[in-house]
Structure 1
Amino acid sequence: MPEAARDDVELLRAAGLRVTAPRVAVLEVLAEAPHADADFVATAARARLGALSTQAVYDVLGALTRAGLLRRFEPAGSAARYERRTGDNHHHVVCRSCGAVDDVDCATGSAPCLSPSDTHGFDVDEAEVTWWGLCARCRPQRSQTAAAASACGIPVPHDSKEGH
């Protein structure tokens, strides 16, 4: 058994979870593809295991999230994403064009990063921040398209997601 798989087995046991092939496969997939959605995880886990139902993948993602082994986040307008990086108060930046996601460490270091104007009686322990923009891969494509359209006198529409 590879070292990473042994580590995942120990991680599951330490969390008080039964070690199953689907749980190990999901952890392996997310180690290789952080910020993946459930469909991606299901496809990649099936490639490792063979038959695996979509419901089983959702059950595994839920169990691992509840156990604190995964973090679930949901960028506006996107499917929920999952990652293994947990408990360290980081945020995300999302590309409006291709949907790429990267981690952004919290500038203040301690949770929550923001202070609400009114907590309405809640004991706030986390703030989720998502920055939106164009990734380095998409930015040149967007600039070239806009420049070509502008040179031809064609108005360039704004991306419907911009400004949100």
Structure 2
Amino acid sequence: MKAAAGDPQSPFAGDPLTNWSQALRAAGLRVTRQRLAVIDAVIRKPHGTIEDIHDEVRSDLPRITIQSVYFVMNSLVTAGIVRKLELPGSPARYEVEGHDNHHHAICRFCGRIEDVACVTGTAPCLRPEAHVDMTIEVAEVIFTAVCHECATTQQARV
């Protein structure tokens, strides 16, 4: 799927149920309650772990297993509908794939994750000076940070 979130032709624009169904079909996937529930949970819990997503999905589908959530999530990641974040020192986390090449800032104290807009220019934002016969498509940058709440707490401890 190549359409961007801001593109009016994108399945990501407008009514979520209709367009997520369209996105699933465009990716060659069947539209199922489980897939729609997982996408909805990822929207409600951005940067959530599989366990977070499972907890959210269970509010709509109480009998869904964590293995089913893993299976659905893998199909959504492969289809380019959900993005898997593999951050240092953290279990895998997930967010809706906005095709915007944003980056992430992670608080080193509490682990809070925030999206950071593309660092410079257009995707892939960063281009290495030299690379071996490859076209760079995506640059992933992780900023280690201290959130304002932790900064205040840490200053109070000193």
Which band: TM-score by shorter chain?
A: 0.7 to 0.9
Comparing 5-14 with 88-97, greater Cα deviation is found at 5-14
Equivalence for 1:91: 103
Two-structure CA RMSD over aligned residues (Å): 1.6
- SS for the counterpart of 1:49 is coil
Provide the rounded CA distance (Å) in 2 between the counterparts of 1:145 and 1:115. 41
Contact 1:26/1:41 (<8 A) preserved: yes
Matched residues in 1 for 2:127 and 2:21: separation? Answer: 38
- Structure 2: runs of 5 or more not aligned: 1-14
Name which of 84, 107, 128 aligns with 2:119.
Answer: 107
1:9 aligns with 2:21: yes
TM-score, structure 2 normalization: 0.82
| CA apart distance, 1:86 | 2.3
Please identify the structure whose Cα radius of gyration is greater.
1
Instruction: Give the structure 1 partner of residue 6 of structure 2.
Output: none
Give the Å deviation of 1:28.
0.6
Q: Residue 137 of structure 1: SS of its match in structure 2?
A: helix
How far 1:142 sits from its partner (Å)?
Answer: 1.0
Of 109, 133, 138, 1:126 maps to 138
Matched, 1:19 2:26: no
TM-score w.r.t. structure 1 length? Answer: 0.80
Distance in 2 (CA, whole Å) between partners of 1:86 and 1:61 is: 16
Superposition pairs of residues 1-164 of structure 1, within 5 angstroms: 4-146=16-158
The alignment covers a number of residue pairs equal to: 144
The CA deviation at 1:112 is: 2.2
Structure 1 unaligned runs (5+)? 147-164
Deviation of 1:117 after TM superposition, in Å, equals 4.0
